Amino acid sequence: MNSRNATGSWSGYLHQGKVGIFLALAYLDDLTSSDDSIAGWEVQYESAEDIDIKNGAIVVSRHQVKAYKDAMYPSSYSDVLGILEYEFKDKKLKIKSKGFQIHKVDNHGNLGDVEVQRDSRFLHTITETIGFDLTEEEFLKAYPNNKYIENPNNIQLYTYPDNLKYCSLSGTNNQDKLKMFCLEKIESILKKINHEFQDNKEQHLRIYQLLLSELDTEIRSKHLLGKSTYPSLSFQRIKSTIIDTVTQSEVNTSILRQKFVQSWIDFIQELEESRVEYQKSHEDKVQDIVSRLYQLKDEEFIQFLINLNPDKNSDKSIASVETVIDLFKVDSLKDIFFDCLLNVKENDYEIDYFGYKANGGYHLTLINRKPQAIKSVIGEMISNKLVTASIFERKYLVNEKIDNIKIFEGLQSFKNEDIKENWNRKIIEDDHFLYADLKFINLENAIKQLNEKE
């Protein structure tokens, strides 16, 4: 497995989103300082390039974001620094040569007027680029073994608030600089309007998370409408998010969604570092499953996490910190859920089913307790009113360690008075749950059974 795939695409996707939020906040901060109108201003994604800052029809600045981990020299960005050319072939507009789009382009690929000025074209990188601003003579003298790339469109490396011309990806071992830059801009904007949250660091963080949630919702909704509709956030919408009271449930849902993706990225990175390889077609299939889960509506995504954790019986709302902690166990997500998705190759994980339909049905969970904790696990499960009832109509409950124990057998250790309400009703003698065929199966045996060919 290499970085061509999940790690690069997901990391780049998250990074690009944060870059756009930061740019919008930076411009909004400047506009707040000058007391200029923000009507018509917006940050637009995935149009001519990755990010446009626009004021009405005017492109104020245009930005290309590249998350190349091993890039060192300008030659790595030849697809940005070149001259963009289109051709209209077979009734389709195709790119003839790659480059940074600085002109308007009609439906037949003809270049129109320049729409972004020379000092407003930016490249964002995640590593330092050596020799970017050197002339050809200076570059070849300093780096004779490397290829010089011309920059006819005057593309500039973007300079961040720390005066560096790159910004590393956030991750397990890296500080999230973009998050820090955004928080600084949020604080600056709040101070300039003398907002009650101006000195409240916790509120700044909540606002930042809500902005990411707004962007995520916008991108997912626009993708459903098709490629001709570009995701965008108006500055008015961003400012309203900053000054309005944020709801903790929205923030926590955004946090859980971001952590889900980051856990996948970290999991893939760990496999790459361990030199564990999977067939590309299967890796792509799992990547698609993760992407579709990530794009679930908020209520569906939360239900997915609840069903992953049938042993976590929380009576608190998603606004509770305890609920967030209960629903998101990073190590279990990697060691059980992602591991199962990658290692089961003969059956497909069904998102609507929360598992695999083979052999009577497998429900995938994050339960990682030892067999001796079976009474505690079942005790929590039978009192969980939030989990989807249909999962108890399956044959197997996939977990990390407990194996070959039926729910019914586990219930024998409970006295009648100990059995609590389940889904707002008492468990009675003829209850389907009490006599369910559902039994625990550990991850190793589940993968083995699911890979058996019929």
Helices and strands, number each (H, E), in the chain: 15, 15
Q: Where are the domains of the chain?
A: 6-243, 296-450
- Angstrom distance (rounded) from CA 344 to CA 362: 12
Angstrom CA distances, 73 to 62, 97, 130, 148, 288, stand at 22, 20, 5, 9, 32
Closest alpha carbon to 236 in 31, 385, 17: 31
Identity of the amino acid at 311: D
The one-character DSSP state at 425 is: B
- The region that residue 441 occupies, defined by phi over 0 for left and psi between -120 and 50 for alpha, beta otherwise, is beta
Angstrom CA distances, 371 to 266, 367, 413, stand at 29, 11, 14
List the pLDDT tens digit at each of the 454 positions of the chain: 333 333 456 677 889 999 999 999 999 999 998 878 899 999 999 888 999 999 999 999 999 999 998 899 999 999 999 999 888 888 888 888 999 999 998 888 888 999 999 999 999 999 999 999 999 999 999 999 999 999 999 999 999 999 999 999 876 456 889 999 999 999 999 999 988 888 888 889 889 988 998 898 888 777 655 555 788 999 999 999 898 755 667 778 888 888 898 899 899 889 888 888 888 888 889 999 999 999 898 889 988 998 898 888 655 566 566 677 777 888 999 999 999 999 999 999 999 888 999 999 999 999 999 999 988 888 778 777 777 677 777 899 999 999 998 876 666 555 444 444 443 444 454 454 554 678 999 999 999 999 997 6
Q: What pLDDT score was predicted for residue 80?
A: 95
| 223 Cβ neighbours under 8 A, 6+ residues apart | 231, 295
- Angstrom distance (rounded) from CA 412 to CA 382: 13
Q: What pLDDT score was predicted for residue 173?
A: 54
Classify each residue of 375-404 as buried b or exposed e, where b means 16 or more C-beta atoms within 10 Å of its C-beta: eebbbbbbbbebbeeebbebbbbbbbbbee
Task: Provide the 10 A C-beta neighbour count for residue 286.
Answer: 22
Angstrom CA distances, 113 to 155, 198, 349, stand at 18, 43, 50
Q: What pLDDT score was predicted for residue 206?
A: 85
Q: What pLDDT score was predicted for residue 317?
A: 62
Q: What pLDDT score was predicted for residue 69?
A: 87
